[in-house]
Chain A
């Protein structure tokens, strides 16, 4: 095997079994076990990435919503009329509020921190966060595709080594039968 190739995020590429005989040099059982282990590792990484994907998929609409509101506030910045709004006070309770046009907003940054921004700054920040989240999402998708490919390769490897083993056993049995001339029942 040559040096292990990897994808941009450092996930190693699965080796392809070109010559089954070569692999068969060692015990079939051991080879198959090794393959199973590799598949399990890839599946573990796949799981991690699926979770990341999920969290990104919920984060993106949230950022979009916030950005939507900031854009709306910017559009109303020069108006003297207060903005009439109904907002959620608790799960089943909505209250009405009049908001004077504003040029600052507070953004929740996480970790119990909220920071005041001008609407323009908030917009820039949200746009950059949104595009960063989208980039991460495409990367996660790429990784997932890559992982799936490696899993397929390993599964095909497994099948080929297994089939080769079956073939060898049959051959051995046939030879034994030919040698013994026995009328043993054929069994798989």
Chain B
């Protein structure tokens, strides 16, 4: 992330407390973004599974019960009940995903701002890319 100056490289610009705070903020945001991205990918996969499940259940026999996993056990419930549970879970996931996306957007914007400031001041003596 933030690169230290190597021996022989001169710090052209003096690092002020404000710069340091900007650097720290940038590093913090970067960490947050990575954590969010991980959660996002996980939830997205879960949502895909649920969508597969919905398609699968369309072919199921209406009179037969579905064994649905709740907690650590399987429970036999009707097809309607299973579909209800899936729809509820799906919409919950969608809201969570939306929340994560908007958070990531805000972070990206803040990071772009900090990048402009820091590159403006330090130029090549700082490396803010992944």
Contacts and interface: CB of A to CB of B under 8 A. Distances in A.
Interface of A: 16, 18, 65-66, 68-69, 72, 83-88, 94, 141, 145, 148-149, 152-153, 155-156, 158-160, 162-163, 166-167, 188
B32 interface: yes
A43 B17 CA distance: 22
Q: By DSSP majority rule, is chain A's interface helix, strand, loop, or mixed?
A: helix
Contacts of A155: 2, 4
B20 A65 contact: no
Size class of the contact patch on chain B: 20 to 34
A88 B16 contact: no
A148 B27 CA distance: 8
Given A163-B5, A166-B8, A152 B31 contact: no
Interface of B: 1-2, 4-5, 7-11, 15-17, 20, 23-24, 27-28, 31-32, 35, 65, 67, 70-76
Contact of A163 (B11, B28, B31): B11
A65 B5 contact: no
Contacts of A85: 73-76
A18 B16 contact: yes
14 contacts: A18-B16, A69-B70, A83-B76, A85-B73, A86-B67, A88-B73, A145-B31, A145-B32, A152-B2, A155-B2, A155-B4, A156-B2, A166-B7, A166-B8
